[in-house]
Amino acid sequence: MKRVIAMLALAATMCGAVQAQKFEGIALTPQMGWNSWNKFACEINEELIRETADAMVEKGLAAAGYEYINLDDCWHAAERDADGFIQCDAERFPSGIKALADYVHERGLKLGIYSDAGRHTCGGRLGSFGHEYQDALQYARWGVDYLKYDWCETENINARGAYTLMRDALYAAGRPILFSMCEWGTDKPWEWAADVAHSWRTTGDIWCSFDQIYQHGTWQALSAMHILDLTADLRRYAGPGHWNDPDMLEVGNGMTQAEDRAHFTMWCMLSAPLILGNDIRTVSDQTLEILLNERVIAIDQDPLGVQGYRFLRDGDLEVWLKPLQGGCWAFCLLNRGSEAREYTVDWAAFDWTDEEVSKLSTDFSTKIYDIENLWVEGKKSAEGTTRKPKSVVVDSHDVVLYRLSPKTK
């Protein structure tokens, strides 16, 4: 009898050992990279991807932390091969995905790919439905590092089941792949996906607008500010290895410099994945000033991984707080209005304990912080302390972002 029990225990342990899960140790801070969709939609080919990988390195973006080069929709061939394996479009990607992954890896970067839980992708290419294990195996063989998994043509499939199935397929294929869910927040993935994926989209698609919705007929594209509002209250669900994803960046795609700065800053305040959506081969110096601001990126990438909190809404002015490692805080003023706004920060009024996530307190009444203005360069960025109230002008559709560090003497 004892032997039977011992064997049953061994069997149970072995089952446990092979039990599927998501890959751990990935995206401990929000992922950073580039994706083809926002700028190029279906117009992609291997030359573009190679040039983008080169530009990522040449423009200093790789050194700043942008790591993934992600193919979005439309890389696929029209048919699977005779064995049912997914293939790339041989005209657009004549060298194949494996060669592309090698090229990207040689530059110290990682390659991402895109599929869909339904029979077809949103762009009408072949989806993974019924081929999940085969597709995961193919990506692993190609050396892919990231999968964005979309939600078109899924009819009445259960979302949790479909995403867990692909998670398990990726795990079985054995190559650590970041799993990025793109289900638009329809089934509230933040409530159930922390052990399924490394990030989940919180909303429908972004388009290049600060605060206007775009009607596409059957669906609407959302502005940066709409997405900010829809993601603001989900902070308790995010953390290292499992992030709210408010969609890819539109920085450099046509908003004003102030709007781009505000969009980028608020994504950092949200601890969002920073996935560039512009043409980085031809990126302007102005846009690079935003994308390469390492002190702002550090707000997004702070190891605590706590999403920021909207503390105040005063008409068009908002104040956001984000706890950072080492007792520091990000303090961000956002002006959504069309006029510049003057505001006096009375620090004691921002005394706050983050009961919901980090349990940390600002303690402005009892602690003094040094103020560093993160959008100002050099010595001028040191703007005194929180000992007395601070007057600030926030331009229209712009932000002022401070890093507050406990004063040591």
List interacting residues with ligand GLA (CB under 6 A). 37, 72-73, 121-123, 150, 182, 205
Q: Is 205 a catalytic residue?
A: yes
How many angstroms separate the CA atoms of 374 and 281, rounded? 26
Residue 71 or 97 with smaller CB distance to ligand GLA? 71
CB 348 within 8 A of CB 386: no
Q: Which of 389, 390, 371 is nearest to 381 (CA)?
A: 371
96-106 and 46-58 are packed helices; what angle lies between their axes, rounded to 10 degrees?
Answer: 10
Q: Which of 211, 253, 250 is nearest to 229 (CA)?
A: 211
Instruction: Write down the number of H helices and E strands in the chain.
Output: 11, 18
Name the 3-class secondary structure at 105.
helix
Residue 37 or 66 with smaller CB distance to ligand GLA? 37
- Closest contact distance (angstroms) between CB of 326 and ligand GLA is 35
Q: Is 229 a catalytic residue?
A: no
- Closest contact distance (angstroms) between CB of 125 and ligand GLA is 8
- Closest contact distance (angstroms) between CB of 37 and ligand GLA is 5
123: left (phi over 0), alpha (psi -120 to 50) or beta: alpha
Residue 205 or 300 with smaller CB distance to ligand GLA? 205
46: left (phi over 0), alpha (psi -120 to 50) or beta: alpha
Residue 145 or 354 with smaller CB distance to ligand GLA? 145
- Distances from the Cα of 137 to the Cαs of 71, 74, 117, in angstroms? 18, 20, 16
Intra-chain end-to-end CA distance of the chain, in Å: 70
Name the 3-class secondary structure at 276.
strand
Catalytic residue among 73, 145, 205, 398: 205
- Closest contact distance (angstroms) between CB of 73 and ligand GLA is 4
- Closest contact distance (angstroms) between CB of 15 and ligand GLA is 36
Residue 205 or 398 with smaller CB distance to ligand GLA? 205
Tokens, residue 225: 């500010």
Residue 126 or 182 with smaller CB distance to ligand GLA? 182
Residue 275 or 401 with smaller CB distance to ligand GLA? 275
Which residues contact residue 156 at a Cβ distance below 8 angstroms, ignoring those fewer than 6 apart? none
Point out the residue whose Cβ comes nearest to ligand GLA: 122
- Distances from the Cα of 292 to the Cαs of 38, 79, 210, in angstroms? 19, 41, 21
Q: What is the amino acid identity at position 317?
A: L
Q: What is the amino acid identity at position 372?
A: E
- Closest contact distance (angstroms) between CB of 141 and ligand GLA is 23
- Closest contact distance (angstroms) between CB of 136 and ligand GLA is 18
Catalytic residue among 150, 247, 260, 279: 150
Sign of the Cα pseudo-torsion (197, 198, 202, 204, in order): negative
| Catalytic center residues | 150, 205
